Amino acid sequence: MPEVKAHQIVLAARPQGRPKPTDFRLEDTPIPTPSEGQILLKVQYLSLDPYMRGRMDDRKSYAEPVPLGGVMQGESVATVIASKHPNYSEGTIVLAHTGWRTHALSDRADLRKLDPAVAPVTTGLGVLGMPGFTAYGGLRVIGKPKPAETVVVAAASGPVGSLVGQLAKMGGARAVGIAGGAEKCAYVKDELRFDAVIDHRDSDFAARLAAACPNRIDVYFENVGGAIWQAVLPLLNNFARVPVSGLIAQYNDVGKGDGTDRLPATMREILSKSLTVRGFINYEFAAEYYPAFLHEVGAGIADGRIRYREDIVNGFENAPEAFIGMLEGRNFGKLIVRVGV
Ligand SMILES: NC(=O)c1ccc[n+]([C@@H]2O[C@H](COP(=O)([O-])OP(=O)(O)OC[C@H]3O[C@@H](n4cnc5c(N)ncnc54)[C@H](OP(=O)(O)O)[C@@H]3O)[C@@H](O)[C@H]2O)c1
């Protein structure tokens, strides 16, 4: 029998509403052996992202759900520890879709290699990876802010929202962030240098948002949905653009919400204001924009114009609890697990 050293986290049960720790199961597995053409990866950092909540439900979406008992999906920064593939030597650090595993085999010829001399490798999971590209692609292709326009984004301290606001400002627009709690709001205003920030937990949130947007809103980058969208909708200008990136406030919803059907009012606004509301999944834009994204955002990080924050949790076994917390706003910055086996 091979020695058991690797670990994986599987979907033990489909969550009803908010996920529980018992919806996940930590399993031991043997460390796999690479065949010809394969590499063996040891995961250093596992990315936790909001989209994973959708994969836990058995419903039709843009991607297949994780089957019960299947390994949770996800991207990681990993080191090649054994190689039978000509493109990879031992010690190479790559970005890979390993899932929630400590070790994984890959036969891909196109993994992105990460150079720690260029940027900290964890940025490949955040500002210089999928979430950063979501901000870049959604803004560039759909939002298209012009100088002096007002761009609003929620989850503004997170990896998508923080870059949306900073890119908007770099293009000459006015950035208004929405975040949960005083500490996150201070970070968005003082460190990320947004023009204004509003705490969505304030009882007079809608009035404060209106006051922070004297010229109303030209681009609303939708990360959250729910009550924030309801406060934004009446403030949208004619011809406003709404890239719909995510709806995290709704990911744990069960059934049809609170029973108030707001779709007729929403459609009226879309029609009467000639709004552009477009959903997107970041990889739609990858072929055309990924190299420009890496170049522009990489340069912004190198010279300090773009700032980012990571929330690194220690221990592979703590991934479920950290993930559950992210859906309630307990993370502060890009959520990453340091696997450290
Ligand atoms: N379309 C795509 O290709 C794509 C790709 C990546 C991400 N996304 C989406 O982009 C959004 C942001 O993702 P991210 O990776 O940057 O993660 P993130 O900001 O770290 O997301 C978690 C944050 O969402 C906020 N949040 C959670 N529940 C909320 C609620 N009920 N009301 C208001 N805010 C809530 C919390 O921030 P506060 O405490 O500040 O509220 C929490 O810290 C998500 O909706 C995600 O699904 C889309």
Query: What is the CA(246)–ligand 1 centre distance, in A?
Result: 7
Query: What is the CA(130)–ligand 1 centre distance, in A?
Result: 13
* Model confidence, pTM: 0.96
Digit-coded pLDDT (tens) for 324-338: 999 999 999 999 999
Task: Enumerate residues lining ligand 1, CB below 6 A.
Answer: 49-51, 130-131, 134, 154-155, 157-161, 179-180, 184, 200, 223-224, 226, 228, 245-249, 280-282, 326, 329, 331, 335
Query: What is the CA(72)–ligand 1 centre distance, in A?
Result: 19
Angle of helix 286-302 relative to helix 130-137, nearest 10 degrees? 110
Query: What residues in the chain have per-residue pLDDT under 70?
Result: 1-4, 256-257, 341
- Sequence-distant (6+) residues with CB within 8 A of 47 are 74, 75, 76, 125, 126, 129, 130, 334, 335, 336
pLDDT score for 11: 98
Query: What is the CA(205)–ligand 1 centre distance, in A?
Result: 18
Q: If DSSP states are collapsed to H, E and C, what string results for the chain?
A: CCCEEEEEEEECCCCCCCCCHHHEEEEEEECCCCCCCCEEEEEEEEECCCHHHHHCCCCCCCCCCCCCCCECCCCEEEEEEEECCCCCCCCCEEEECCCCECEEEECCCCCEECCCCCCCHHHHHCCCCHHHHHHHHHHHHHHCCCCCCEEEEECCCCHHHHHHHHHHHHCCCEEEEEECCHHHHHHHHHHCCCCEEEECCCCCHHHHHHHHCCCCEEEEEECCCHHHHHHHHHHEEEEEEEEECCCHHHCCCCCCCCCCCCHHHHHHHHHHCCCEEEECCHHHHHHHHHHHHHHHHHHHHHCCCCCCCEEEEECHHHHHHHHHHHCCCCCCCEEEEECCC
pLDDT score for 255: 72
